[in-house]
Amino acid sequence: MKQGYFITGTDTNVGKTWATLALMTYFKQKEFFVIGMKPVASGCEKINGEWRNADALAIQQHNSKTVDYSLINPYAYELPISPHLAGVENPVDLEKIVANFEILQNVADVVIVEGAGGWYAPLNNSETIADLARKLNLPIILVVAIKLGCINHAQLTLEAIKNAGLNCAGWLAVCNDTDFDCVDLTIESLEKRLLAPFLGVLPYSDIADYAYLAQHINL
């Protein structure tokens, strides 16, 4: 049975890539054939004459099968700014992303697609991450960085996902703020307020040990 998930977050830099890689590892541990995508990425560097994104490269390395980079990340932009600004000369075409997704879906049991920024991050002059999620029509996993303000951000994002008519498969807490002292109580507050399954807590780690992080997921 083919499966897929769309990973979104409460903001940029909330741990979506770590969550994506942990989820990929989770499914691989269960002997699923897994492929990940990061269709749109800003802040790339040129490697062998081509723009490459560090997060997309990490996803490529964790795939169950070697897949061409252009399928995983068709829109790689140099500047670390919003895609609608970084991609003025090569704007995002959602149909191209959908076509790439369908290619990958044909060769995998599970395809995990990581979004860019937050739910309403603009991809071009008229479309956002929310529009891409609608096109792919996958269950959504919401990544919540546990920090000051996250309760508000998480509730607003979940409301927007449901207003889009999409299914939220659940939310993941990511502990990436070492200066925040109210982690447990904040997660408890989120559990009470977010009407979606709680999939686990990815604890803070200096080293990206995705096998360890995968143990904290209950999907």
**CA-based torsion, 207, 7, 65, 25: positive or negative:** positive
Burial (CB < 10 A; 0-12, 13-18, 19+), residue 161, is: buried
Residues facing 142 on adjacent strands? 8, 171
Q: Once rounded to an integer, what is the mean pLDDT over residues 140-155?
A: 97
- Ramachandran category for residue 149: left, alpha or beta (phi over 0 → left; psi -120 to 50 → alpha): left
Helix H or strand E segment including 198: strand 198-202
Percent of the chain with pLDDT over 70: 100
Q: Give the pLDDT confidence of 168-199 residue by residue, as tens digits.
A: 999 999 999 889 999 999 999 999 999 999 99
pLDDT at residue number 2? 72
Contact 16, 41 (CB under 8 A): no
Residue 99's pLDDT band (cuts 50, 70, 90): very high
Kindly state the tokens that stand for 24. Answer: 């990929």
Residues 6+ apart with CB under 8 A from 12: 116, 117, 118, 121
pLDDT at 17 over 70: yes
Return the CA Rg of the chain.
16
Domain at 4-214, CATH homologous superfamily: P-loop containing nucleotide triphosphate hydrolases (3.40.50.300)
pLDDT at residue number 207? 87
Residue 219's pLDDT band (cuts 50, 70, 90): confident
Q: How many CB atoms lie within 10 A of CB 3?
A: 15
Please, which contacts does 53-59 make with residues 24 or more away whose CB atoms are closer than 8 Å?
55/17, 55/114, 58/17, 58/21, 59/17, 59/20, 59/21, 59/24, 59/114
Q: Give the pLDDT confidence of 26-50 residue by residue, as tens digits.
A: 999 999 999 999 999 999 999 999 9
Q: Once rounded to an integer, what is the mean pLDDT over residues 87-113?
A: 97
Residue 1's pLDDT band (cuts 50, 70, 90): low
Domain extents for the chain? 4-214
Catalytic residues: 38
Round to whole Å and give the CA distance between 193 and 178. Answer: 24
Q: Give the pLDDT confidence of 65-90 residue by residue, as tens digits.
A: 999 999 999 999 999 999 999 999 99
pLDDT at 56 over 60: yes
